[in-house]
């Protein structure tokens, strides 16, 4: 029994070290090695997972899901619950779906607001226009304009210039197309220099004198004695 005590303490220490505050949004399956940071599963798939334990009140799980979907102005809805599939301290997984209560099909099924094809089909079916949910809602959409820094170039008034004469004819805007080249005339073609012709190729060399013997066997040719042809007779 004493020999197993260090092992039990080690397992307990590892379990405590691997534990996260519960409940928590599980992003372990949404990491893409091509990017330096995890992808947002809500934007990618319209859903996300929350890990929790038996000691976690279900109201806390729903509150975390509502906060996660509320970031995009959506409502959270639980779809499935899987037990003993997450970490040791929070072993259960609850799968939530983010949707807009106004975007439902004729059968009553919610539409994924991040699925372009599903949104287009819903717009054609209902004749309504979907709200953009692919950006943060609420105050996150407001772009704050930074205040001007004292002494910056924006505080300096523009230099005073003389007013333009209203009776003067305005200059025509510059043309964006290039002027066409002048057309050729018969005189231009007649005075055009002749195109230089390449030099002719050198003549083929004369054939050399024939050798004393024929280049290939003639009629009634026989192999001399003791040649390689004797091997066929043996």
The tens digit of pLDDT for each residue in 197-207 reads: 788 888 777 77
Q: Is residue 230 part of a domain?
A: no
Position 170 in a domain: no
State whether 34 and 92 are in the same domain. Answer: yes
Asked if the model's pLDDT at residue 164 lies above 80, the reply is no
CA gap 176, 195 in Å, rounded: 36
Given a cut of 60, is residue 158 above it in pLDDT? no
Q: What are the phi and psi torsion angles at 81 (to 5°)?
A: -130, 125
Q: pTM surpassing 0.85?
A: no
How much is the pLDDT for 33? Answer: 56
pLDDT at 141: 36
Q: What is the mean pLDDT of residues 185-196?
A: 73
Helix (H, G, I), strand (E, B) or coil at 132: coil
Could you tell me if residue 54 is inside a domain?
Answer: yes
Same domain, 22 and 94: yes
Indicate if 41 and 84 belong to the same structural domain.
Answer: yes
Compute φ and ψ for 25, nearest 5 degrees.
-80, 125
Q: What's the pLDDT at 38? A: 62
Determine the Cα–Cα distance for residues 98 and 46; give it in Å rounded to an integer: 6
Q: What is the pLDDT of residue 167?
A: 60
Residue 62 scores a pLDDT above 90: yes
pLDDT of 9 strictly over 80 = no
Which secondary structure element, helix H or strand E, spans residue 99, and what is its range? strand 92-99
Same domain (yes/no): 90, 114: no
Same domain, 27 and 48: yes
Q: Is residue 18 exposed (0-12), middle (13-18) or buried (19+ Cβ within 10 Å)?
A: exposed
Least confident piece of the model among 25-34, 39-48, 176-185: 25-34
pLDDT at 125 over 80: yes
Tell which residue, 57, 69, 46, has the closest CA to residue 22.
Answer: 57
Look up residue 73 and give its two tokens.
């102005």
Residue 11 phi/psi, 5° resolution?
Answer: -65, -40
Q: What is the pLDDT of residue 74?
A: 92
* Residue ranges making up the domain that contains 33: 15-99
Please indicate whether residue 20 or residue 46 has the higher confidence score (pLDDT): 46
Q: Do 50 and 85 belong to one domain?
A: yes
CA separation (Å) from 217 to 208, 210, 221? 20, 15, 6
In a domain, 19, yes or no: yes
- Percent helix, strand, coil in the chain, to 5, is 30, 10, 60
For residue 57, the model assigns a pLDDT of 92
Q: Which of 51, 81, 99 is the last residue of a domain?
A: 99
pLDDT value for 144: 35
Q: Please report whether residue 174 resides in a domain.
A: no
**Total of domains in the chain:** 2
């Amino acid at each position: 029994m004493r020999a197993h005590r260090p092992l039990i303490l080690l397992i307990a220490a590892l379990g405590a070290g691997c534990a996260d505050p519960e409940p928590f949004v599980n992003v372990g399956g949404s990491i893409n090695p091509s990017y330096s940071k995890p992808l947002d599963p809500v934007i990618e798939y319209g859903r996300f997972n929350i890990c929790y334990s038996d000691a976690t009140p279900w109201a806390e799980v729903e509150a975390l899901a509502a906060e996660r979907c509320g970031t995009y102005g959506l409502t959270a809805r639980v779809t499935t619950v899987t037990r003993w599939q997450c970490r040791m301290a929070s072993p259960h997984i609850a799968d939530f779906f983010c949707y807009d209560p106004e975007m439902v099909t004729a059968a009553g099924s919610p539409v994924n607001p991040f699925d372009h094809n599903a949104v287009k089909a819903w717009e054609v079916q209902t004749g309504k226009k979907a709200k953009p949910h692919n950006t943060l809602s609420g105050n996150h959409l407001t772009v704050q304009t930074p205040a001007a820094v004292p002494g910056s170039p924006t505080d300096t008034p523009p230099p005073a210039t003389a007013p333009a004469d209203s009776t003067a004819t305005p200059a025509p805007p510059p043309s964006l197309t290039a002027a066409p080249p002048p057309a050729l005339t018969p005189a231009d073609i007649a005075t055009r220099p002749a195109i230089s012709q390449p030099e002719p190729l050198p003549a083929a060399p004369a054939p050399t004198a024939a050798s004393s013997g024929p280049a290939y066997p003639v009629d009634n040719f026989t192999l001399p004695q003791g040649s390689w042809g004797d091997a066929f007779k043996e």
